[in-house]
Structure 1
Amino acid sequence: MMASLSENTLKQYNTTFRLWWRFCFQTGISVYEATTEELIRFLHNIFETANLKYGSFNSHRSALSLILEPSVTDNPILNRFMKGLSKLRPAAPRYNATWDPNSLLQYAERLPNPLTLQELSRKLVTLLCLITGHRLQTIAKIKLSNFIYGEDAIQILIADPIKTSGRNQLQPTLHIPFFKEKRFLCCASALTEYIDRTSYLRHGQDTLFLSYRRPHLVASKQTLSRWVKEFLQAAGIDTSVFKAHSTRHSSTSAALRNGIAVDVICKTAGWSQRTATFAKFYNRPLVPPNEFARAVCNVSHSRHADLP
């Protein structure tokens, strides 16, 4: 049963359990045998003391459903209370607008050549996020043993579980095309350069990204997030507003503006099948997966063999 929960979910639920334990201790409630009314008191207490959105309350409910009776957490009274929370504290998107990737791409083109390993690391992880539309969690799980080198592109299979992994769910494949027209924006070329320059640091390590500082351990998702944020800031993007995850918003919006069908964007970026089904309602045609990355960088088809 514990294995059914991801590591990140467990960390998130631990916050709930600490709050619940403290509330039960202070009010004399049984931790494992509370009633629906007592659960509502707990959620209402959080509502009055913290300015949280509906998603946080729903997460608390999900966590406590693991330790309380189903009749407590799936109760008509609680359902009505949760509906009230959704009205009073509605979930809202993190961003009301997104940034244009052109400013970042222009900055990347102006960088001196050759780059230091630090600069190359930041540039590569940011470009990977941008041209794939995937989460940093996915980028952090890239392994060299899952590369498939083609004439026009590199395909990367993501074998490890990610946020959207589940039964009957296909694991994502990242498509990294070679760009001839914009050599300094060619993520595939930066990828091969990074692999060559870190080969002597690996000592058998299969994970793609390593820390550029000694002892060159595997770079965590948090480290990659910091690299992306630093690259965005250097490109003039307001990182007090836009975090590393905003690359996902920016790239998918740019792809849509450049004519990529919604269902292709959803499939490429790894969004749910329900979203893809909604996109198919508009009867958009499918295009080759490499076209997503090309549309973001606004370049035409090329072959890496022609790169200087």
Structure 2
Amino acid sequence: MAIDSVFQSWRPGTRKQYSSAWTRWHMWCNLRMCNSIKPLESDIILYLLYLKQLKKSYSVISCHKSVILETVKILNPNIVLNFNILNRFMKGLNREIPPKPRYVFTWDVGKVLNVIAKWMPLQSLSLKLLTFKLVSLVALCTAARAQSLKALNINHLCIKEDVAIFDCGDLLKTTKPGQNFVIKLCSYEEQELCPVLTLKYYLKCTQSLRKDSQLFVSFKNYKAVSSSTLARWLKNVLLLAGIDIVKYKAHSYRGASSSAASRAGCKMSEILKTANWSSAENFKVFYLRDVQNDHIESNYQNCVLNSR
């Protein structure tokens, strides 16, 4: 089917989300005896109102609208829709049910740092604790998503003196095709929190065991792990630090890390560059929590690791 080819043009995560939204739209259209591929503006608006009645959030409704419009435009290049009406509708919806951030407050980065700093010397750690230490350090020092952590590959790793650089290519959620994104780790003066030192030792310990070139491998069978496994590891570290994992999920590392960097005086441009955000607006609305200033230039990683 043509719709399957359309979905293949998106990345796996987007494809999964869009496929679910399109299926729901298609079923709704079948019940109302209207054409899901050649809808009227009124059909789309009625469907979005239906989602609103189901108490769906603005972001969910907006996602469904995007799926419908993008897919319909691809399948029917000559279709004429009044986007002014649709945009006006979404603007009004935004005022009725404005998008809300998941977290009102974030957790204290210092709590996690204090716990993992105690996991020394590295030689005394089990592979499990060593893995937990590295994955949490990388997540904090780079504001990386679990998807980004999964994309780290030792075949695309360059270690020069006190810097480790991963070339992630165009595999990440926010990376545009043809634009490479790199994740960089720098040495830190306190060895118990040095991501480069921990990375080097992790690579040494897993060199003869690993069955995949993905950086993070299972400490049980040494095979590549999924994004959900990485997310579970990050939550385990939060739990060990006494942080409520019912409230805070793995993705909260991104907001906690970037907010800590901002509180410590990291320049906004450095935060956006490190977290791979194109605009400060998204950061300020959905991630920035309890921040006083962002005007002093500083290194992102050091701002985070100095949060103890």
The TM-score by the shorter chain falls in which range?
0.7 to 0.9
What is residue 306 of structure 1 aligned with on the other side? none
> 2: distance between equivalents of 1:272 and 1:40?
30
Does residue 270 of structure 1 match 2:268? no
Q: 2:53 aligns with which of 45, 48, 63?
A: 48
Q: Is the 8 A contact 1:255 1:295 kept in 2?
A: yes
Please report how far the alpha carbon of residue 274 of structure 1 lies from its aligned counterpart in structure 2 after TM superposition. Answer: 6.5
RMSD value, Cα: 2.5
* Farther-moved stretch of structure 1 (26-35 vs 87-96): 26-35
2:39 is aligned with what amino acid? Answer: A
What is residue 66 of structure 2 aligned with on the other side? 62
Give the unaligned 5+ runs of structure 1.
Answer: 300-308
Q: Is the 8 A contact 1:64 1:73 kept in 2?
A: no
**Structure 1's 148 and 74: CA in aligned 2 closer, same or farther, altered over 3 A?**
farther
What is residue 104 of structure 2 aligned with on the other side? 96
Does residue 235 of structure 1 match 2:245? no
**SS at 1:296's partner residue?**
helix
Partner deviation per Cα, 1:109-143 (whole Å, 9 max, x = no partner) = 22364221112112211110101122222111111
Q: What TM-score comes out, normalization by structure 2 length?
A: 0.85
**SS at 1:201's partner residue?**
coil
> 2: distance between equivalents of 1:126 and 1:211?
15
Give the unaligned 5+ runs of structure 2.
Answer: 1-5, 285-292
Q: What TM-score comes out, normalization by structure 1 length?
A: 0.85
> 1: distance between equivalents of 2:184 and 2:113?
19
What is residue 217 of structure 2 aligned with on the other side? 210
**Structure 1's 244 and 37: CA in aligned 2 closer, same or farther, altered over 3 A?**
same
**SS at 1:67's partner residue?**
helix
> 2: distance between equivalents of 1:144 and 1:177?
16
Q: 1:187 aligns with which of 191, 195, 203?
A: 195
What is residue 290 of structure 2 aligned with on the other side? none
Q: Is the 8 A contact 1:35 1:72 kept in 2?
A: no
Does residue 174 of structure 1 match 2:183? yes
Q: Is the 8 A contact 1:36 1:72 kept in 2?
A: no
Please report how far the alpha carbon of residue 275 of structure 1 lies from its aligned counterpart in structure 2 after TM superposition. Answer: 5.8
Does residue 20 of structure 1 match 2:25? yes
**Structure 1's 283 and 250: CA in aligned 2 closer, same or farther, altered over 3 A?**
closer
Partner deviation per Cα, 1:168-211 (whole Å, 9 max, x = no partner) = 74x2222212223x2221111111111111112224x2211111
Q: Give the aligned length.
A: 287
Please report how far the alpha carbon of residue 104 of structure 1 lies from its aligned counterpart in structure 2 after TM superposition. Answer: 0.7
What is residue 305 of structure 2 aligned with on the other side? 297
> 2: distance between equivalents of 1:256 and 1:46?
37
1:86 is aligned with what amino acid? Answer: N
1:34 is aligned with what amino acid? Answer: P
Counterparts of 1:121-136 in structure 2, within 5 Å, are: 121-136=131-146
What is residue 305 of structure 1 aligned with on the other side? none
1:240 is aligned with what amino acid? Answer: V
1:153 is aligned with what amino acid? Answer: V
Counterparts of 1:68-87 in structure 2, within 5 Å, are: 74-87=82-95
What is residue 164 of structure 2 aligned with on the other side? 154
Please report how far the alpha carbon of residue 38 of structure 1 lies from its aligned counterpart in structure 2 after TM superposition. Answer: 1.6
Partner deviation per Cα, 1:232-289 (whole Å, 9 max, x = no partner) = 111111111111111111111111122211111111221105669x9xxx995755xx
What is residue 196 of structure 1 aligned with on the other side? 204
Q: 2:116 aligns with which of 108, 131, 154?
A: 108
> Could you say which structure has the greater relative contact order, defined with CA pairs below 8 angstroms and 6 or more residues apart?
1
**Structure 1's 144 and 64: CA in aligned 2 closer, same or farther, altered over 3 A?**
same
**SS at 2:72's partner residue?**
coil
